[in-house]
Structure 1
Amino acid sequence: MTSSRWFRRALLGSVATVAVTTGAQADELTALKAQLQALQTRVNQLEAQPAAPEAPEGASFITFRRGTEATADWNTSRVGDAVPSDRGFTIAITPTADLPAPVHEVTVSGYVKGDVIYDFNQDLGNQFTYTDITEGTDSAEHIRLHAEQSRFRIKSRSDTSIGQIRTLIEGDFWGGDFRVRHAWGEWDMTPNFTLGVGRYWRNFMSVDSGISTVDFNGPVGLIGTSRNNQVRLTYHDGPMEFAVSIEDPTGDSSQGNGDDLLTGAIGTITTPATATVATGGASDNLPDLNARWQYSGPGDTLFLVSGMLRDFHTDGDLGVDGDSALGWAVQGATNINLADFATLSTSVMYGDGIGNYLLGASYGAYANANGNIDTIAGLGLFAGLSFTVTDATSFNVGWGWTKMDSGDTREAADLYGEELNREIMSVHANIMWQPVQEMKLGWELMWADRKYRDGGGMDSEGNTSGTNKSDDAWRAQFGAWFYF
């Protein structure tokens, strides 16, 4: 009896244990099924998303490639001075591994240029320096070789959330040392407005006017001082562009004598009444104001109108009152394509106080014997033709003429004992041959005729004297560009 009772109890315990165990396993199975369903849902979601493209083999966040096409659409070169877009190299930076369009690109380019120069009449320097043509030195033949025009350029383009930003740093070795030609930044504030700040081409000038030359200076009648420090706002809409700028006035210098204003800053002038008149040194109290409108059509066609206003100023720091005078200039230019085998380039500029805006002018203004500022009027004309002979060869010829007001020039030259240009005419003719993109060769013949006033200064009685002089000069030049 006892054994039978123990057996029944053991059997009931076993059944209870099995029942408990079975229930626990059922709960675990239910939880496992729920986890599997959640995992399957997540897999389905991932499969529904588009697959990320795999990066091409050898791709990188930073890439290097030959050529400068990335910034080629941003024209920063003057006519005949561009580096072929397949020269140089580009550094591209991309933001993510799936390699969208680069957000930052830097291009590096430039050239080595060597020149061989032969002056038939007199030594005129590393460039065809018109003011060095002087009467009575026709037998001073001279030869020189230099490589100072060699150039180095870095450009960049960055796409940002507030618009594209571009930079340009360019220099050459003119004068024997490395010098900055351009240090410029641009920001596309809107699709139509661009803000530019730094050192760049003068807004007054046309970078597309003129011809390709071997000579660094080029023909008279075109822009004189071509680069300046400035702030510029540009509106562009398709082929049309309008820009206004405030620019560094070029009248001041460390000696007190302005680059474009002739003054008696370091001395006195004796008048016929024997009174001493002291003229304060040139100073800059207002920036130059420049405005330019241009239309660029197909086939290198161009129409341009520009103007500038400038202020000439002398200080009253030598016991006399200072003075101010307004200078101005206007320019019209056009390029016309002639049946795709030639381009005609013309320009005319005129102004009163135009000064260093015009190549071949001496000063824009001067302080007269009474200490007041008189501006000097000037006219510049240019016409040139560029012929495409073959795919590798071109022929270029350009004529330029600069004419300054004779009366003002005579008075200023005689008062200060200076040589001041009255009239200069120049002609450049060359053949350019570029058999490959890496090299260009040029042979050029140039001639200029200079008429100038050789001032004698003022004597103790207040009398002035001077002489009108003239001479011409010939030069031959060979140049070789090697692009990297």
Structure 2
Amino acid sequence: MLKDKRKTIVKMLFLSGFISPYVSALDFKVDETDVSVYGYAKLDVIYDVNDDLGNSTNRGGARLSGAPGSDGHTRLHAYESRVGFSTATLVEGSLLKTKLEGDFYGNGGGDFRLRHAYGEWQGLLAGKTWTNFTGLVAVTPLVDFTGPGGRPRAARQAQLRYTMDNFSFSLEDPEEIGGLEDAPGTKSSLPDVTARYTDRSGRFGYSLSTVARSLEYDSEGTSAGSSSDSAFGWGLAAEAAWDVTSALTLRAGYAEGDGIGGYINGGVNPSPAYVNEGGDLETIRTSGGTLGASLEAGPGNINAAYSLVSADLDSNPAYLNRNESFEEAWLNYIWSPASPITYGVEVGWHRRETVNGAAGDAVRIQGMVKYAF
């Protein structure tokens, strides 16, 4: 009976997204607490046909047409490897869940970093985990750790969240993924506020979300003189996944906003606003979308994804040489010869265009071997 209870709790955690579906786990019990220790070791083998795009794809790394540079770059690394543990304890008739997880992508690769650290009881979550702005519904599986752009960003930040049935609301750190660019006097005095509704009907799942933000600039006492301004930032997102058949899944995601900053995955400019020459705070409008498909084939899946993200930067003359849009496409095959083992091969195409019309693209070929526990 104890074993059945443990299986039931683990199943509940899995369905709630508490335990990642991409890893297996070692489960045991300590007193009245069920514990899962999980993780994986992953090797990425990367060949950049054109420019060196980094440990995970640097969308702004493609060489602009006519610019000097070298082709052909190989790298192998294991920075995505991760380890974590989660717990579930029955407290006053409700599950108290906790999770701690980290990987080695700190400082771009090589340093251990915290991914998740939170607890949740009776619908109240406190700590660091996925921003509530994303529902993770439109994420097409890729070998590339960067993931498809044009959707709500699957990033993690500190927050206080309450979930009631299909609705969730949160107060989140305004600096980690959506902070203003480093200019004298830029600040955040209020948390970001998000709301999300996620549901599924038969073979169709979807998520709708919004974020509201307070952006501020006050240069009093700084080298920039004395001026101040504030602006309202907002973002909207929709994600959907449709299991057309038992073998074919289609996905789509869309996100846009004014002053949304880094809440869009693959955002052209992570800063939500800039200070113009008159000392006024100008928000940046950004939008993006992604399409994806997964088809079962043999022991694995063929996955294809496309994304496009663009920002309106023309009003700032200082941004003429900055990126204005990112366009990307991926095709891969990911398979598992046994449940804790995953292999994958992928080709990705990445294009960027700047405000002044210059453009460049690059191709990345990537393979992976992942052993989970």
SS of alignment partner, residue 186 of structure 2: coil
Query: Which amino acid in the other structure matches residue 483 of structure 1?
Result: A
Query: Which amino acid in the other structure matches residue 445 of structure 1?
Result: V
- Kindly report which structure 2 residues correspond to 1:190-209, keeping only aligned pairs within 5 A, or say none: 194-209=123-138
- Residue matched to 2:297: 389
The alpha carbon displacement at 1:354 in A equals 1.5
Say if 1:71 and 1:156, in contact at 8 Å, map to a contact too: no
TM-score by length of 1: 0.70
- Out of 240, 244, 248, the position equivalent to 1:342 is 248
- Out of 52, 75, 88, the position equivalent to 1:144 is 75
- Residue matched to 1:213: 142
Moved more, 313-322 or 119-128: 313-322
- Out of 153, 163, 172, the position equivalent to 1:247 is 172
2-side partners of 1:326 and 1:412: how far apart?
Answer: 22
- Out of 170, 184, 190, the position equivalent to 1:286 is 190
2-side partners of 1:221 and 1:71: how far apart?
Answer: 28
1-side partners of 2:307 and 2:173: how far apart?
Answer: 27
- Out of 289, 304, 313, the position equivalent to 2:207 is 304
* Residues 1:89 and 2:26 aligned together: yes
Say if 2:236 and 2:256, in contact at 8 Å, map to a contact too: yes
2-side partners of 1:167 and 1:89: how far apart?
Answer: 16
The alpha carbon displacement at 1:92 in A equals 1.3
- Residue matched to 1:158: 89
Q: CA RMSD in A?
A: 2.4
- Out of 128, 135, 143, the position equivalent to 2:57 is 128
Gapped runs of 5+ residues in structure 1?
1-55, 95-102, 189-193, 253-258, 266-280, 454-466
Change (3 A) 1:73 1:386: same
- Residue matched to 1:471: 360
Say if 1:292 and 1:304, in contact at 8 Å, map to a contact too: yes
- Residue matched to 1:448: 350
Gapped runs of 5+ residues in structure 2?
none
Change (3 A) 1:225 1:283: farther
Spell out, residue by residue over 1:148-177, the C-alpha distance to the aligned partner (whole angstroms, 9 max, x if none): 000112011000125220001110011211
The alpha carbon displacement at 1:406 in A equals 4.1
- Residue matched to 2:337: 435
Say if 2:136 and 2:154, in contact at 8 Å, map to a contact too: no
Spell out, residue by residue over 1:73-109, the C-alpha distance to the aligned partner (whole angstroms, 9 max, x if none): 33136xxx6234xx32112145xxxxxxxx3101001
- Kindly report which structure 2 residues correspond to 1:219-298, keeping only aligned pairs within 5 A, or say none: 219-224=148-153, 226-236=155-165, 241-250=166-175, 260-262=179-181, 264-265=183-184, 281-298=185-202
Q: Which has the higher contact order (CA 8 A, sep 6+)?
A: 2
Query: Which amino acid in the other structure matches residue 400 of structure 1?
Result: S
2-side partners of 1:435 and 1:137: how far apart?
Answer: 43
Spell out, residue by residue over 1:431-455, the C-alpha distance to the aligned partner (whole angstroms, 9 max, x if none): 01101012000000000110023xx
- Out of 87, 96, 110, the position equivalent to 1:176 is 110
Total equivalences in the alignment: 361
Spell out, residue by residue over 1:340-387, the C-alpha distance to the aligned partner (whole angstroms, 9 max, x if none): 111110011111112111123212110000111000101111110011
Say if 1:122 and 1:137, in contact at 8 Å, map to a contact too: no
Say if 1:308 and 1:330, in contact at 8 Å, map to a contact too: yes
Change (3 A) 1:322 1:406: closer
* Residues 1:403 and 2:340 aligned together: no
1-side partners of 2:255 and 2:112: how far apart?
Answer: 32
The alpha carbon displacement at 1:225 in A equals 6.1
Greater radius of gyration (CA): 1
Say if 1:121 and 1:137, in contact at 8 Å, map to a contact too: no
Report % sequence identity. Answer: 30
TM-score by length of 2: 0.90
- Runs of 4+ residues over 4 Å off in structure 1: 67-70
Answer 1 or 2: which has greater strand percent: 2
Answer 1 or 2: which has greater helix percent: 1
